[in-house]
Structure 1
Amino acid sequence: MKITVTRQGIRKNEVYFTADCGEGKGIWCGSTPVLPGEALEVEFELPALFMRWVDIVPAAPGGNAIRVDGEQILLTGILENIEEDGTGYLRLGNGLIMFECLGEPMALGGCVEIRTRELMIYPVNL
């Protein structure tokens, strides 16, 4: 996913960014610091373990979105798959975000919202 860094956050390596599908914040995990105004190709990682029907809930169909709500980052996209081991895939724009989850089954192919406090951002080496 392509993002543009808009500003530094107050936590170590925290950055705010914009993307085609919204605005968010996360922890930059690259080997070199990034500066506001930099446009980057990145991948997101969600390190937390999520509970289906608690942290992952059905959402109204519509555009994919990233947004900040207080201390939480909200990711709204299509639930592509959840494997038997709990590995899930959220389609956000043209990319997939992998996450780990537990709980009751959810219908695949529908729109869901994931609430998280941690979003790790890694540079993609093209």
Structure 2
Amino acid sequence: MEILIRGVDNSDMDSIIDFNTEYGNGKAVWNGNSDPEVGNKYNVEYDITDILEWNKTVSLSKEKSFKIFIEEEITHIIGVLEKVYKDGISDLRFGNSIIQLEVEGKDLPVGEYVLVKADSLEVYDTVY
């Protein structure tokens, strides 16, 4: 998915970026072969490294469209839960992207829009 870098914070060991997408804005740890530059567009893949929990960090969404936004310093993503595997991995459709999640819980609502609270969002530059 294409993002536009709005800001970069290099004060920590990781580069934290603020970014815009066609679905809203978010904040993530940057992983790429080059440093992110404010004003540049990048094609990225998303990764949420935390183990999520149904009805706590993943829940049904009242909104029925793709969206990304920041609330209380946490990036929230609304997408469609496309598939749930037996090993606890789930596929979340976010626009044209698929984000794999590890979600604990039962009876996850496949085919429904869900809200994911992504405290550990990372993006990977897909250009090598």
Give the TM-score normalised by structure 1: 0.94
Alpha-carbon separation, structure 2, partners of 1:98 and 1:22:
20
Identity of aligned residues (%): 23
Instruction: Kindly report the root-mean-square deviation, in angstroms, between the aligned alpha carbons of the 2 structures.
Output: 1.3
How many angstroms apart in 1 are the aligned matches of 2:29 and 2:108?
29
For residues 50-61 of structure 1, what are the structure 2 equivalents within 5 Å? 50-61=52-63
Q: Paired residue for 2:71?
A: 69
Equivalent residue of 1:67, what SS?
strand
Aligned to 2:6: 6
Contact 2:29/2:123 (8 A) holds in 1? yes
* Structure 1: distance between partners of 2:80 and 2:63: 9
Which ranges of structure 1 fall in alignment gaps of 5 or more residues?
none
1:19-53 CA deviation, whole Å, 9 max, x = no partner? Answer: 01110010001121011001010000000000112
**Aligned partners of 2:90, 2:25: CA distance in 1, in Å?**
23
Aligned to 1:25: 27
Provide the secondary structure at the position in 2 that maps to 1:121. Answer: strand
Give the length in aligned residue pairs: 126
Q: Which ranges of 4 or more aligned residues in structure 1 deviate by more than 6 Å?
A: none
Select the residue among 35, 38, 45 that pairs with 2:37: 35
Unaligned segments of structure 2, at least 5 residues: none
Quick check: 1:53–1:104 contact (8 Å CA) kept in 2?
A: no
